[in-house]
Amino acid sequence: MASLERVTGDFVIYDNSFAALEGLEGLTSVGGDFIIEQNSKLEHLTGLESLETVSGSLRIRENGDLVDLAGLDSLREVGSFGIYDNDGLTSLAGLHNLEHVGDYLLVTDNDVLPRAAGLEGLRTLGDTLSIIDNDTIAGSVDIEGNGG
């Protein structure tokens, strides 16, 4: 699937045993929702380095071994974005080029996420920013990565 450049509708990666997403290196856009959910062995988003836009919702949910968001380095724009219930997530690294979220950005229930740094490229947010119930984020919320 390395030649796949665009999905015009929804793209769902659900309940697989992949450690990464190699084979999707050519994917630049998803026209609907992009759901990455309940992939128990997924550690990295390697393979999505060319992804620039998701017109619908990007949901990264319940991927217990996912440690960071490296692989989303080219992502610039999403309709909405939910990052939740990823028990091994320790960093939002990979989101530094994300500039525009059309609706909401939700970061919740990521039990070992120590801070919300990694969103320094974010310029516009259409509606709500929610960073809640991430057990290890303490003190002020540092979305700029400046040590909050």
pLDDT score for 116 = 81
**Contact of 43 with 18, CB cutoff 8 Å:** no
pLDDT score for 139 = 52
Instruction: Read off the pLDDT of residues 110-148 as tens digits, 9 standing for 90 and up.
Output: 999 988 888 889 999 999 999 888 887 765 454 544 333
CA distances from 63 to 9, 66, 127 (A): 23, 6, 26
Quote the mean pLDDT of the chain.
91
Rounded to whole angstroms, the Cα distance separating 3 from 137 reads: 39
What tokens were used for 11?
A: 């793209």
Burial class (CB in 10 A: 0-12, 13-18, 19+), 110: buried
**Contact of 90 with 66, CB cutoff 8 Å:** no
Of 29-38, 102-111, 139-148, the least confident? 139-148
What tokens were used for 133?
A: 């119930």
CA distances from 106 to 3, 28, 35, 98 (A): 31, 23, 14, 14
